[in-house]
Amino acid sequence: MNIERIEYPELQKSIHVDMDAHSVRLDVYVKDDRETVYDTEMQVSDTKELPKRSRYYQGMIDLQLVDAGQHYKKLNKSYIIFICPFDLLKLLNVLLSTETGSQDKCQILEEDFHIRMTQTLESEVSLMCNLSKGVEQKGIEKGRQEGIIAMVSALKDLQIADSIILKKIQEKFHLAEDTAKMYL
């Protein structure tokens, strides 16, 4: 993205739908030359509501971008940027970390996020940890296969004999001969 200049940002832009709906006041609202909308919000305290608040703001912004009768493909891109003095993504980092075990995650969830651990929740966290380990292992295996394929391709480009390539990939990747032959 290349921003040359920003002209007339709207400070404290208010969006009201009707009297009964919760209105929003956007801190800094800007459109760029491609009609992409940016809302920048300053959030001083962690109220634990930011995910739903950002979803609500996104919906309210979208209401302003499409007129009645227009197709949804006319909906511009929009971004909500929260500037926070705290780690907004800490919970996600805890949940998705592959370095932290399920018992440690449960302890962090209780102590840092005040989430009461039940047996069901503990088993769900354990299952999630096992699934993330599986996903990580799958990624490692895919990267390993891509590495073997790239090595075979590079050696073939150098016109190295298949018998030497076979020995090299067996040696470097600890493959059985039958498995190594599949890469040739």
Tens digit of each residue's pLDDT, the chain (184 residues): 666 666 556 666 777 666 677 777 888 888 888 888 898 888 888 877 888 888 988 998 888 888 888 898 888 899 999 898 888 788 888 888 888 899 999 999 899 888 899 999 999 999 988 888 888 899 999 999 999 999 999 999 999 999 999 999 999 999 999 999 999 9
Do residues 108 and 89 lie in contact, with contact meaning Cβ atoms separated by under 8 Å?
no
Question: What SS3 state is found at 100?
Answer: coil
Give the pLDDT confidence score for residue 136 in this predicted structure.
87
Radius of gyration from C-alpha coordinates of the chain: 26
What is the 3 state secondary structure string of 112-129?
HHCCCCCHHHHHHHHHHH
- Torsion from C-alpha of 128, 131, 132, 138, nearest 10 degrees: 180
Residue spans of the domains in the chain: they are 1-88
Encoded amino acid at 12, one letter: Q
Residue 81 in tokens: 């940027």
To 5 degrees, how large is the angle CA 37–CA 38–CA 40? 155
